[in-house]
Every structure is written in structure tokens, then in C-alpha cells.
Amino acid sequence: MKLLSTLERPYYAMVRPTVGALVRAGVRPNTITTVGTLLVIVSAVAYGLGQVRLGGALLLASGIIDTLDGQVARQSAQVTRFGAFYDSTLDRVGDGATFIGIAVFLLNAPDVAWRLPAVILCMVAILSSLLVSYARARAEGLGIDCKVGIAQRAERILGLGLVSLVFGAAFRAQALVLVVALLAMASIVTVVQRFVFVYRVAAGDSRISD
């Protein structure tokens, strides 16, 4: 999204001292990735236990940590293909865990609006978020840089984390359900955008096939 793109430069300037400190301390990028994923899993457990605000706070914290591993890798000259694979794979674990935790909460909370549709939306959100990432990875495997789309991982973390932190389970969890619905729809739109983009780029390339 344009707003997040605008905020990227000041955000990275703000975390630069932290990145420098991590590099000087010899912290490995994969260690940061692991810590971030563990934090997402703890966030998912918090959601599942009904601690929605805590889950949102932990999710936002994991998002901050998730931005550090790549910067540390570049500044310390530790960029590796395995590191990229490890980071991408654990990101998918985090995406799935978050929506599973929310679904568990929605199934067990005593007073939730739209219970069954909300749980189904969580399932759709899991599938669509995985497809967003898969579409990019498959395109890059074909030599196509595919970062288009209105909803990537940063948008999902920020939107879900902020709404969870501000509203918690208030209003029969309607705010939480609505943001899950919006993220699911935005991810579906992003998948379509990436399909269209890759089709247009690859349409004249007969070497690209299944």
C-alpha cells in the first residue's frame, strides 16, 4: 500500500541504531527470524486463549522483529539463499498460526457475532495469505519480480495487530471479524493482481511452462 511505502524510509531510519547494535553483537539473521516466529506463535496462543489485545501487541512486536533480520543480514554480509528460504518459510508458519489462533478464539468465546462465518473467514484468510506468498515465490522462480498487490504481509500484521490492540474482543469481536474479512478479501485481490501481472509479463515467453 502507498501509505506503508511512504512510511518505510522513516521507519528504517528509526530502527537503524537497533540494527547496528545487533550487527555489533554478532546476532545472526536466522536467530532474529526464529525469535520473531516464536513471538508470532505466542501471539497465536494468546488469541486462542481470548487475550486478543495481548495477541495484537505480540503480533505487532513480531512484525518489528521481522523487519530486522534482512537488514542485519545485509549489513553484516550474511545474506544467503538458505536465509531467504528460512525467513520465507517461517513467515508462512506465522501467517497460518495467527489465523488459527483467532479461529480457536472465535470457536470458544461465549459471545461472538457471526461465529461460523467468522471461522470460515479465518480459513479463507489462511489460504489466501499463503497464495499471495506462493504466487510471488513461483513467479520469482520463473525469473519474474512479482511484488504487486494491495495486501502483503506487512499490511496483514499492521491491520490485524492494530485492530486487536485497540478493540480487543469488544462489540462481540465484530471489529476483529471485520478486519479478518477485509484482510481475506484484500489477499484474494492481491492474488488476482499477481496472476494478471505474471500473465502479462510471461504471455510472450514460450519457455515458461508448468
Q: What is the CATH number of the domain that holds 66?
A: 1.20.120.1760
- Output the pLDDT for position 205: 63
d(CA 171, CA 152): 27
By percentage, how much of the chain surpasses pLDDT 70? 94
62, pLDDT greater than 90: yes
123 within a domain of the structure (yes/no): yes
Higher pLDDT pick, 176 / 202: 176
d(CA 112, CA 123): 17
Contacts of 50 (CB under 8 A, 6+ apart): 105, 108, 109, 169
CA nearest 4: which of 193, 179, 155, 168? 155
Q: What is the pLDDT of residues 32-59, one digit of tens each?
A: 999 999 999 999 999 999 999 999 999 9
Q: What is the pLDDT of residues 111-168, one digit of tens each?
A: 888 889 999 999 999 999 999 999 998 998 888 998 888 888 888 899 999 999 999 9
Contacts of 78 (CB under 8 A, 6+ apart): 28, 29, 72
d(CA 60, CA 54): 10
112 within a domain of the structure (yes/no): yes
- Output the pLDDT for position 12: 82
208 within a domain of the structure (yes/no): no
87 within a domain of the structure (yes/no): yes
CA nearest 134: which of 153, 161, 158? 153
**47-66 burial code (b ≥16 CB/10 A, e <16):** bbebbbebbbbbbbbbbebb
Q: What is the pLDDT of residues 4-24, one digit of tens each?
A: 667 777 888 888 899 999 999
2, pLDDT greater than 70: no
Q: What is the pLDDT of residues 167-201, one digit of tens each?
A: 999 999 999 999 999 999 999 999 999 999 999 99
52 within a domain of the structure (yes/no): yes
Identity of residue 187: S
Q: How many domains does the chain have?
A: 1
Domain that holds residue 67: 2-202
Cell 501471539 sits on residue? 43
Instruction: Give yes or no for a contact between 185 and 129, defined as CB atoms under 8 angstroms apart.
Output: no
Q: How confident is the model at residue 207 (pLDDT cuts 50, 70, 90)?
A: low
